[in-house]
Structure 1
């Protein structure tokens, strides 16, 4: 799995942290050669003009799907003392199953109970992308996002729910179309306090 690096950076309003994925660089040329070899192994004629650009295109596609954007973690002092749930629903995401290299995609619902600081709402989607654009399983991805927010935002509670359809189920194997896998990760009050937990799952649209 990739290592996430936080770089202190002076900021006028936020926490001054720049977030990058510190993973090994992608060798697109080596990926092109490997994809060409894979096509041959699958019995395809790589001299066919229709396949001439396929290795390059596939290498670039995988590089894009495995490279999240860097971003500044913008947080603000909770000057008003807001202590109710903040929830962003239906954040689209996609990731790659580490077992079959096939996509899974869906929506995320991310909420937190603020402590001393609040986070820019768009950054919740950025944190999701940070971990989603990697080789993943949905269970770990859900926990990655929740753990990261708990550690770096230090809220009173965090809740993350992912709903996704997996092409490794819909295109191969059991070939079940339209089924969705739901995973959740909770920390703090959203895990320990039954009323807060119920409110979170009700707003997400799930039963606790």
Structure 2
């Protein structure tokens, strides 16, 4: 990302909305926004590092409540929430930090929630696991701040491999939605 060009464009936008970019509170805004965009759109240049795996097996691995923040590609306003990932390993498991990095890789882009969910499931499934489920629950500021101005949330899901089977899908969904306080151990 060309930081200098972003600063120039933000300065022009400030003028277009009717503000004075030389005003004390706005003087450094173009630089702050350029730095912020570099961070929040870093997913285009990131690697989820899924190639780092450990020899271990388990019937299912579930990572709940992976917090994410993304930017709606339609209005460039944030949407945010939690992603839950379940997968059935095939002799190798991923560290939880790799799953968090995978979420960041796709959430730190101009995005829609449905594609975010699909991208995460597709990349994880491409690593040879038996099955993957990704659930995303999010709030969208593009809907809260403008348009219908409603507090509704959106849930999206993606199923790959063995979890595309109706019976497997129902069982894994029940496990994902369980809270740790509800588990028998």
TM-score by length of 2: 0.89
Aligned pair partner of 1:184 in 153, 157, 162:
157
Following TM superposition, by how much is the alpha carbon of 1:110 offset from its aligned partner in structure 2, in angstroms? 0.3
C-alpha separation in 2, matches of 1:59 and 1:96: 15
Aligned pair partner of 1:44 in 19, 28, 35:
19
Aligned length: 175
Q: Compared with structure 1, are the counterparts of its residues 71 and 156 closer, same or farther at alpha carbon in structure 2 (3 Å cutoff)? A: closer
Question: Is the 2:48–2:99 contact (alpha carbons within 8 Å) kept by the matching residues of 1?
Answer: no
Following TM superposition, by how much is the alpha carbon of 1:119 offset from its aligned partner in structure 2, in angstroms? 1.2
Runs of 4+, deviation exceeding 6 Å:
none
Following TM superposition, by how much is the alpha carbon of 1:203 offset from its aligned partner in structure 2, in angstroms? 2.0
CA-atom RMSD in angstroms:
1.5
Q: Which of 1 and 2 has higher RCO (CA within 8 Å, sep 6+)?
A: 2
Where do residues 190-201 of structure 1 align in structure 2 (5 Å cutoff)? 190-194=163-167, 196-201=168-173
C-alpha separation in 1, matches of 2:2 and 2:105: 20
Where do residues 58-97 of structure 1 align in structure 2 (5 Å cutoff)? 58-68=33-43, 69-70=46-47, 72-73=49-50, 74-78=52-56, 81-82=57-58, 84-97=59-72
Secondary structure of 2:35's counterpart equals helix
5+ long unaligned stretches in structure 1: 1-25
C-alpha separation in 2, matches of 1:108 and 1:71: 15
Q: Compared with structure 1, are the counterparts of its residues 71 and 192 closer, same or farther at alpha carbon in structure 2 (3 Å cutoff)? A: closer
Per-residue CA distance 1:18-54 (angstroms, 9 max, x = gap): xxxxxxxx11110000000011111111121211011
Question: Is the 2:41–2:110 contact (alpha carbons within 8 Å) kept by the matching residues of 1?
Answer: yes
Question: Is the 2:8–2:30 contact (alpha carbons within 8 Å) kept by the matching residues of 1?
Answer: yes
Following TM superposition, by how much is the alpha carbon of 1:148 offset from its aligned partner in structure 2, in angstroms? 0.3
Bigger fraction of residues in helix: 2
Secondary structure of 1:45's counterpart equals coil
